[in-house]
Structure 1
């Protein structure tokens, strides 16, 4: 796998992971476990609706997404993240390759992702996703002429 493919793979793995969290596909066995866990953790007076959802799941009837309230970001937020990364890659491809321009562009993309993650209650970017983002941002910067092995996001990112 060459450098460009590796960078694109980091981007794709990141976005696929983000989408997987917000694109719900019912799975009765997994959903039943999730609902039972919620039931156990819930205050007794709030359990009856959960018990009803569990019953619907067990009977093969429609039931609400048990994960719906776990994420503070949406599919549109993931789309926005992908757009930010694509715009960054295009800007790097068109840049003059000077250290100042590369630094400016990496600072800009890092700031935009900081804002997006903050708008999502800082829940969008975890450690694994941070590593994929850094691979993409730094790898793209290296292709434009940045010194290899340098973390261009360090000191600017809030994720």
Structure 2
């Protein structure tokens, strides 16, 4: 058994591209015999004037993380997420778990990259008991944390 994360959105490809930047993931390639998604959509009868952005998937190139699937929905996001993603990378950068200042600095650095890609910073947390992280919203308003 494995886990797939599904995100409802208005623009699957655009939101997927943002999360590729956030997570270091790659676009999931189409299944054979198709060499590209455009080729697959042509074969499925979805012409250039059709909805060529109904869904999009990204995967961890190392095969460790879950597949993330973006599906187009008509309704807008209206309230705070009941579930959110934490982008955790400070341990991979050799930062000690107890070094809040270094963790927050690393989170701010990555958050700045994500703001350039379309995210919005919502708040920062630097708490002696809880730790340090930055709360952001992706381009469609879904909250997530960088820690």
Relative contact order: is structure 1 or structure 2 higher (C-alpha 8 Å, sep ≥ 6)? 1
Task: Provide TM-score, normalisation by structure 2.
Answer: 0.31
Normalised TM-score (structure 1): 0.29
Give the strand-richer structure, 1 or 2: 2
Higher helix share: 1
